[in-house]
Structure 1
Amino acid sequence: MSTSTPTVVLIHGAFADAASWTGVIAELQKEGVPVVAPPNPLRGLASDAAYIASVAAQIDGPVVLVGHSYGGALITVAGVTENVVGLVYVAAYVLEEGESLGELQGRFPDSPLVSNLRQAMYPVEGADPAVEVTITPEAFPAIFAADVPEAVTKVLAVAQRPLAASAFTETAAAAAWKTKPSWAVVAGADQAIDAEVQLFGAKRAGATVVEIEGASHAVAVSQPKKTADVILDAVRATS
């Protein structure tokens, strides 16, 4: 790939970390594509998006932002950063400007995820403790990663990164897909974000959609090659 090849910035979602991109990173590196997988703070839509925007802005040259799950909401906002040239949604929420995750999800029946969230408190400097959520470990394999080997899901279940509950009610300050081209990987058997929710947002954004039948929410883990192929499409189209 040439020097004008965009850098791919992979944003993980809730209940996961950047290691969930391991297989996708290997596929992109094999093709000579520069890639960065920063940590997602998971503390709130506006603050997380500001962090992702700052990561993108400090990269020399064009950037393709890739967001999994809640990470999709973040790239929707952070994607207005000047050097971002494309957006890729992976089993993700694609928000409209002024819309929250709760509002988008609320248009559709609840997924099994909703009834299997566990609440905990975390300290906030200068304020009352706030609520964060994880998926109950026993429900995690079926909801998050049904097509991933059980031994792997047991590790992922105890290594979850919690999401601030406030992230569900904060609204998106921008919708970068209105001015940037977008692609979407829809996980056909997703039990965390229903495929209908993913499709609705992707179609509204005018994204180029690739649906992977039978794929769980952890599609980047179970289908790294197919996921990377869509990202590579975006890289080629924006090079």
Structure 2
Amino acid sequence: MKNFVKGLAVAGALLLSVPALAETAKPTVVLVHGAFADASSWNGVIQRLEKDGYPVVAAANPLRSVRGDADSVASVIDSIKTPVVLVGHSYGGSVISEAATGKTNVQGLVYVAAFAPDTGETAIGLTGKFPGSTLGPTLAPPVPIPGGGKDLYIQQAKFPAQFAADVPAGEAKLMAATQRPIAEAALGEASTEPAWKTIPSWFVYGDKDRNIPPQALAFMAERAHSKQTVVVKGASHVVMVSNPAAVAKLIETAAQAAPAK
């Protein structure tokens, strides 16, 4: 009888500890890639986050339209029952800004060399808002999409210098061959009400970005009242590939921050 009572006490203590464990569980990090890339661009970041105990989902971004892509990512968010830190690279920033709207489990947004558009703004418009982007001349001839519209690629020979100048040559060449196209219309699609107005945000980018001018990235970070902005010296547009430790560190900072009330 004595051992039975003791067993009940131990079981009760374990049950009482469950809510405490749930409260301290780490949020899930959802990573959204941008144009001319795929989910593998997050590999180095994922390795570091998982090593530190964070659940990670690298979502497949369709790269078809801002609204449609946001709906796709929103469905991923809806399937996750823990708090979420939502991370977007490049055009993926436009997507997460839409996808997080109204999602109560998204506690933070991290923009990685990414667009953070305001209502009515487009990726093309923000790229040209400040001088410095050299993307236009490196694009390959548009590829017609069945049913209408055009897909955009970066010329493979120009991809490393334009997109991934600080990535080892062999890896950059592979990235050029495996790049995923974006529908031209997506880059000109206006954003609606952005989630960064109500959800805390963090920004990281390289000062040698040739796709989105660093001045534009700084402008968007300041406008969004970034909790912390990290500028990686010498980093290209794919700062998460060339400097995964810096990007993972900022994501963990966002994950450890108290959600906005």
The CA distance in 2 between the partners of 1:190 and 1:35, in whole Å, is 26
In structure 1, what is the equivalent of residue 145 of structure 2?
122
Aligned alpha-carbon RMSD (Å): 1.2
**What is the identity, as a one-letter code, of the residue corresponding to 1:211?**
V
CA deviations 1:92-124 (Å, max 9, x no partner) are 111012211122223112511111112111113
Match of 2:233 among 185, 202, 213: 213
Aligned pair 1:10/2:3, yes or no?
no
In structure 1, what is the equivalent of residue 215 of structure 2?
196
In structure 2, what is the equivalent of residue 222 of structure 1?
242
**What is the identity, as a one-letter code, of the residue corresponding to 1:9?**
V
In structure 2, what is the equivalent of residue 136 of structure 1?
155
In structure 2, what is the equivalent of residue 102 of structure 1?
124
The CA distance in 2 between the partners of 1:232 and 1:97, in whole Å, is 28
The CA distance in 2 between the partners of 1:5 and 1:91, in whole Å, is 25
Rg larger for: 2
Answer yes or no: is the 8 Å Cα contact 2:121–2:191 preserved in 1: yes
Could you say which structure has the higher helix fraction? 2
In structure 1, what is the equivalent of residue 174 of structure 2?
155
The CA distance in 2 between the partners of 1:100 and 1:193, in whole Å, is 13
Aligned pair 1:235/2:255, yes or no?
yes
Aligned pair 1:83/2:105, yes or no?
yes
Aligned pair 1:180/2:202, yes or no?
no
Following superposition, the deviation at residue 71 of structure 1 comes to 0.4
The CA distance in 1 between the partners of 2:173 and 2:63, in whole Å, is 22
TM-score, scaled relative to structure 1? 0.95
- Deviation above 2 Å: which 4+ runs of structure 1? none
Aligned pair 1:112/2:134, yes or no?
yes
Contiguous gaps of at least 5 residues in structure 2: 1-20
Following superposition, the deviation at residue 58 of structure 1 comes to 1.3
The CA distance in 2 between the partners of 1:238 and 1:5, in whole Å, is 12
Could you say which structure has the higher strand fraction? 1
Aligned length: 234
The CA distance in 2 between the partners of 1:85 and 1:183, in whole Å, is 12
Higher relative contact order (Cα pairs below 8 Å, separated by 6+ residues): 1
Contiguous gaps of at least 5 residues in structure 1: none
Answer yes or no: is the 8 Å Cα contact 1:6–1:238 preserved in 2: no
Following superposition, the deviation at residue 22 of structure 1 comes to 0.3
Question: Relative to structure 2, which stretch is displaced further, 157-166 or 107-116?
Answer: 107-116
**What is the identity, as a one-letter code, of the residue corresponding to 2:71?**
A
